[in-house]
Amino acid sequence: MHTAPLPTAGDSSCQHTLAAPQHWSGVGLHSGCEVSVTLQPAPANSGRCFVRVDLPQHPKIPARIDHVQSTQLATELVGAGASVRTVEHLLAALAIAGVDNVVIEVSGAEVPVLDGSAQPWLDGILAVGLAAQEAQRPCGALREPITLYEGDAFVSAVPAPATRVSYGIDFAYAAIGRQWCSFSPAELATEIAPARTFGFAEQVEYLRAQGLIQGGSLDNALVCSATGWLNPPLRFADEPVRHKLLDFWGDLALLGVPPTAHYVAYKASHHLHTQLARAIAPRLSPASTHSRL
């Protein structure tokens, strides 16, 4: 194993892990609890796996689509009697950076939200760099289209010569309205990773009464009202749709390495994102998925 620069997502033929451990801490978006995360290098073909270091026997929770339990405003994984929530931003950063194998030690039931984007995760990964591994990176191409609908929302994966991700949203709020964006995996580090999560001022009281967004603040989420953004400036004019694409890529990372395809989503949710991943998973050949932990 040798130290290597970050591979361009989807272009490297060999697997990678972190060159050294890296650590973050912060509050969970929904729990409001302080939690720490340490990424540890992992062997080839082991995939990405969460470990609840705050619990007895340190239960492992593989970051795979078959371990998804809940998708209410975040993606939650379960395994070995434990759970971990709001994993999508970290998983997106790992996928964007090209980290195939990693042990994610987490000291609580929710990954910290940090600034609401994937940028702090990606910056930390860049700081330590990657180590190339002897094993080949799984790869495959989608052979037939898949589309799932939920009302007027949909997610789709279409065979394509190269991977691309496109996303559309449409909100009644004038500050957002209808937005579309489309990027290749190589563009996600600069165009998608900095995009922050967003919410609506009129929903804050209700969601907090439901036990959600207990750790949400103007420091870790964009908040929109009928009259505009409460905490501008935005990092991109279309930051909301870019963040939705970030969530989508994080959920697709539960496949390990998503097959080459054009992925398209419109007005979708974590539920639809993960349903698409579930539909794709059985079509992957054994050679294009990580071995089970």
The DSSP code for 174 is T
- Peptide bond preceding 233: is omega within 30 degrees of 0, i.e. cis? yes
The DSSP code for 176 is T
Handedness of CA 122, 123, 124, 130 (dihedral sign): positive
Provide the 10 A C-beta neighbour count for residue 43.
13
> Is 28:151 a contact under the CB 8 Å cutoff?
no
Q: Which of 16, 67, 270, 290 is catalytic?
A: 270
> Is 118:89 a contact under the CB 8 Å cutoff?
yes
The DSSP code for 246 is H
Strands (E), 184-293: 198-200, 222-225, 228-229, 262-266
Structure tokens given for 80: 């070995």
Q: Is 290 part of the annotated catalytic residue set?
A: no
d(CA 68, CA 18) in angstroms, rounded, equals 25
Catalytic residue numbers read 270
